Amino acid sequence: MTETLSLKTARRIALAAQGFGRARPAAPGRSHVRDVARRLGVIQVDSVNVVTRTHYLPAFSRLGDYPREALEAEAWGPRRSLFEYWGHEASLLPLETQPLLRWRMERARGGAMWTGLSRFGREKRDYIDGVLAEIERRGPVTGADFAEGPRGAPGWWSWSDGKRALEWLFWAGLITTRTRNGFERVYDLTERALPARIINLPTPHEADAQRDLVRIAARATGVATAADLRDYFRLPLADARERVAELVEAGELTPVTVKGWRQPAYLAAGARTPRKVAGAALLSPFDNLIWTRDRTERLFGTRVRLEIYTPAHKRTHGYYVLPFLEDEAITARVDLKSDRKGGTLLVQAAWREPDATADTAARLAGELSRMTGWLGLERVEIVGKGDLAAALEAAVRG
């Protein structure tokens, strides 16, 4: 008989799997960042820099004010433990994951990528091969080194042919990010950029690699639907269904029912079920815990939507909104912006959620103060609207 989990139990399992509810280290450093990356399996990268780049935020949510240089060293330093590729979206992933994504790189060489980029690959393959040969000859390059050539159509960020060639080669796994200058990628041949111990690992069969990716997703989610597991690494639908079924048959995933969920769910082998989850954290809108919007609604009863690309007059909560996790519930959300020149973390809006408590404003103020120091800013200022703004301002002022 299929076990039934209460929604509260499912939420606790999911939070524990994502690394919440643990005591934050007194002096977090590189080893703690590595632990977060391995637990999550993938960290999304995005160019938006309203508060800070989003890839810095998941470790902050779980560790507190760790040095951002620790993540940079793990991602782009000479003794790195992470690499960049298409995981969930553009992502940082543990180096050991690279062989598990070689099937995706191989498919990309056959055209499985963005439609426009795939067409460019078919039409300009000689040019792409020339760019690859130039990188092999010259060593590390940036997009600026290949900025010549006609521009693409609007909506494709008006990329030059050189930029598109680099992106095609990156997707195909032939080049990767060696380091970054600011946020600009510095590319090199994959076999030169990654450690030999990774390059020399055997390439698993596609099904075996996908099965391992589902295992990572299952450990990171704790309890999840088949759609949640597929989405974690954006696996092809039919492939994901087969891999989930195989892991159920192997006893590594246990079918369960979660009260209130319409779809069947799967419990990862070894998933922890804590008696409670305590702590507070501001969450990037790209955080693994909430990046699948349907899953967020199922777990927390909260509708979270990214409104960056929504016209200002149509936004509900703001431009760059971070939900606030308070123990086992999302109790608030804040629209934040770093005023770096003014040394101020601006709260442009603050909103209560139905699960808000009498302590929400004070606990949120504490996390905002922690974030302010972490970002190298001097103060928090409440400048916007929202039904939590007045209480939050009072809490910030103390």
Query: Do 189 and 178 touch, CB atoms closer than 8 A?
Result: no
Q: What angle do CA 337, 338, 342 make, to 5 degrees?
A: 125
**262 and 306, same domain (yes or no):** no
Instruction: Among 275, 310, 337, give the residue marking a domain's end.
Output: 275
For the chain, 398 residues long, the average pLDDT of each consecutive 10-residue run is 95 99 96 98 96 98 98 97 98 99 98 92 95 96 77 50 95 98 94 98 98 99 99 98 99 98 98 97 98 97 88 89 98 98 98 98 98 98 95 95
Domain span at residue 362 reads 302-397
Q: Is the pTM value of this prediction over 0.75?
A: yes
Amino acid at site 126? D
**185 and 312, same domain (yes or no):** no
Per-residue pLDDT reduced to its tens digit, 36-72: 999 999 999 999 999 999 999 999 999 999 999 999 9
**224 and 369, same domain (yes or no):** no
State the Cα–Cα distance between residues 104 and 355, nearest whole angstrom. 41
Instruction: Among 275, 290, 317, give the residue marking a domain's end.
Output: 275
| 76-100 as b/e: b if 16+ CB within 10 A | beeebbbbbbbbbeebbbbbebbbb
The CATH number of residue 313's host domain is 3.40.630
Amino acid at site 290? I
**85 and 131, same domain (yes or no):** yes
**225 and 317, same domain (yes or no):** no
Task: Name the residue among 211, 277, 271 with its Cα closest to residue 245.
Answer: 211
State the Cα–Cα distance between residues 375 and 57, nearest whole angstrom. 11
Per-residue pLDDT reduced to its tens digit, 278-322: 999 999 999 999 999 999 999 999 998 888 888 888 898 989 999
Task: Name the residue among 166, 218, 211 with its Cα closest to residue 188.
Answer: 166
348: DSSP letter: E
